[in-house]
Amino acid sequence: MADIQQTTNKQHRMLKISILRFNPQDPESVPHMQTYELEESDSMTLFIALNELRDTQDPTLQFDFVCRAGICGSCAMMINGKPGLACRTLTRDLPTEFTLAPLPAFELIGDLSVNTGKWMRNMSERMETWVHMKEEEVDLRKKEVPMDPQLAEDIYVLDRCVECGCCIAGCGTVRIRPDFVGGVGINKIARFRLDPRDTRNDADYYDIVGDESGVFGCMSLLACHDFCPKELPLKTQIAFIRRKMAEQGMRGYDKVLPTQKKAIPIKPARQ
């Protein structure tokens, strides 16, 4: 009973949340910071706080969300100057006063909402991030060839990217080269290079990622690795792909010759 009474009498903090407001569709709108006050609740996430602000104080506030569980990547934003997911950020881990802003490098829709989908689609089409198979048509009646469990696990680890854009928002190279594919693009190359169903070799991948807008443009600041909410092994994959592309550039393997698809040690997927 004493514990229940202590919980009931617990004092919650009053949060001051400064949000960058701007609607590019409105010619009269100018970028400005707007501060809201909100009482913190137990186990409040930034996602919950933003929804409460929009429901009770300002229905014009724009931000994105879908899954609420760190799976869709829609609610990514700059939280006190660092990219992160609103649904996975507890307000208790933030100071009483903090700022929110949209992710840089992406087309702004309004306030905290950006068009990451447009950027990701352009990147995926440019990087050809799909399994390239020899068969023109897939026979769905054919029994699928079993995959080694460890190889399947390695592919799964890399395939957990939710395309939230946090790695792009934290990337210094993107600020210099807007055409840079970033950690998300290089990770996708690593994922398909590992897939035994993909018939491409390093000569094919070199045409896609073997330049300054690809893996050789990375300045190794590794903010992509630091801010990835899914904790993907981006620094390991960037180093690995850069080494393989350097070998391809120096030795000039032919496209018709297969190259060994060797996995590198990566940490297990987070449960």
On whether both 126 and 236 belong to a single domain, the answer is yes
Is residue 3 a part of any domain in this protein? no
Is residue 109 a part of any domain in this protein? yes
Which residues, given as ranges, of the chain have pLDDT below 70? 1-9, 135-136, 253-271
CATH number for 98: 3.10.20.30
Is residue 192 a part of any domain in this protein? yes
Q: What is the pLDDT of residue 141?
A: 86
CATH number for 241: 1.10.1060.10
d(CA 228, CA 151): 22
For the stretch 8-40, what's the b/e string if a residue is b when 16 or more beta carbons lie within 10 angstroms of its beta carbon? eeeeeeebebebbbbbeeeeeeeeeeeebebeb
On whether both 247 and 121 belong to a single domain, the answer is yes
Q: What is the pLDDT of residue 71?
A: 93
Is residue 261 a part of any domain in this protein? no
Is residue 264 a part of any domain in this protein? no
Parallel, antiparallel or unpaired: strands 76-79 and 97-101: antiparallel
On whether both 102 and 170 belong to a single domain, the answer is no
Which H or E run contains 113?
strand 113-115
On whether both 85 and 159 belong to a single domain, the answer is no
Long-range contacts of 98-102 (CB under 8 A, 24+ apart): 98/15, 98/16, 98/17, 98/18, 99/17, 99/18, 99/19, 99/20, 99/33, 100/17, 100/18, 100/19, 100/20, 100/46, 100/50, 101/19, 101/20, 101/77, 102/20, 102/77, 102/78
Q: What is the pLDDT of residue 136?
A: 66
On whether both 96 and 173 belong to a single domain, the answer is no
On whether both 123 and 241 belong to a single domain, the answer is yes
Q: What is the pLDDT of residue 1?
A: 47
On whether both 123 and 232 belong to a single domain, the answer is yes
Secondary structure class of 108 (helix, strand, coil)? strand
Could you tell me the pTM of the whole model? 0.86
On whether both 161 and 246 belong to a single domain, the answer is yes
Place of tokens 């443009």: 217
**Which residue segment(s) compose the domain that 39 sits in?**
14-114
pLDDT in tens, 247-266: 998 887 666 555 555 555 45
What contacts 99, CB < 8 A, 6 or more positions away?
17, 18, 19, 20, 33, 78, 80, 81
On whether both 128 and 213 belong to a single domain, the answer is yes
Is residue 257 a part of any domain in this protein? no
d(CA 61, CA 50): 8
On whether both 101 and 123 belong to a single domain, the answer is no
Is residue 70 a part of any domain in this protein? yes
pLDDT in tens, 99-118: 999 999 999 999 999 999 99
Q: What is the pLDDT of residue 15?
A: 97
On whether both 77 and 33 belong to a single domain, the answer is yes
On whether both 86 and 125 belong to a single domain, the answer is no
Is residue 9 a part of any domain in this protein? no
Q: What is the pLDDT of residue 270?
A: 46
Q: Which of 48, 70, 55, 62 is nearest to 19 (CA)?
A: 62
Q: What is the pLDDT of residue 9?
A: 62
Total domain count for the chain? 2
